[in-house]
Amino acid sequence: MTANPASVRSEMAELSARRNQLYGIICRDPTPIEIELLAGAGYHAIWLDLEHGSISLLEAGKLCRLITSLGMIAVVRVPEISRHQVQSVLDAGCEIVVAPNVCTAAEARDLVRLGKYPPAGERGVSSSTARTGYTLGSDVEATLRAVNAVTYLMVQIESDEGLANLDEILDVEGVDMLTVGPLDWSVAVGLYGASAQEGLREKVEDVFKRAAKAGKTTAMIVRNKDEATRYIELGVQLIFVGLDVALKRQAFVDAIRRVGDG
């Protein structure tokens, strides 16, 4: 088997070419069966959360390959920007790496350095990664160039510092995507509960407007149809409809209420 650069596929590119909006879910406690059910339900992207979930790098790799084989986009949020975290999930088959709480352009450049092969970055080269069919083929340069083109790096803005440095972060070549983490951001500035959303609304909208102007693909988690509509109007292409644990908790509550007397 030989690697053909033209066969290095991108679910993100292929799905985006067919649809204006893509929908996903954030998973902290997924099983292979749940991933299959999500594919059958029509989801386009699965975000595996290694920052707040208990998913190991080994499990993440297996799930990334399953997600991709089912025609969905494998997204992984790593706990930190480090060679071990970024390179491991990419080698295992992740297509979009999310770096949490990016506050400076220097941090964004570190993500690119670890996430892209030379000359764009300094990612270590392995002869057997999932995205290349476990071979580099006869033209290594062309293969690595093809992989760089379909490896997406997403920064997450979660602080006033990140907002203050947003233009410099957006200027970093190799940063493809952007999202916002409203919960950490709101807590950091002393906003809780219902007041958090409104208190951050202007800042969050500013982030997405500037990201859209910079030509970045954007993503956001939403709680309802109204929020989805608002973010879509701000140019957000990838909508995450919730968190697996929270959705399962609600499904369990609803199930017992249907038949119980509590």
Query: How many structural domains does the chain have?
Result: 1
Mean pLDDT of all residues in 117-140: 92
State the catalytic residue, choosing from 21, 29, 37, 52. 52
CA distances from 168 to 44, 97, 157, 163, 211 (A): 30, 20, 13, 10, 11
Q: Which ranges of the chain does DSSP label H, i.e. alpha helix? A: 11-18, 32-41, 57-69, 83-91, 105-115, 140-149, 160-164, 166-170, 182-188, 194-213, 225-233, 244-259
Q: Which residues of 98-123 are buried (b: 16+ CB within 10 A; e: fewer)?
A: bbbbbbebebbbbbbbbbbbeebbeb
CATH number of the CATH domain containing 55: 3.20.20.60
Strand partners, 180: 157
- What pLDDT is stored for residue 193 in this prediction? 79
Token pair of 29 as six digits: 């406690």
**Can you give the residue range of the structural domain that contains 109?**
5-259
* Annotated catalytic residue 44: no
Nearest to 132 by CA among 58, 68, 49, 60: 68
Residue 6 has pLDDT above 60, yes or no: no
**What pTM did the predictor assign?**
0.94
pLDDT band, very low/low/confident/very high, at 4 (cuts 50, 70, 90) = low
Share of the chain above pLDDT 90, in %: 87
Mean pLDDT of all residues in 218-242: 96
Token pair of 104 as six digits: 């400076």
- What pLDDT is stored for residue 192 in this prediction? 85
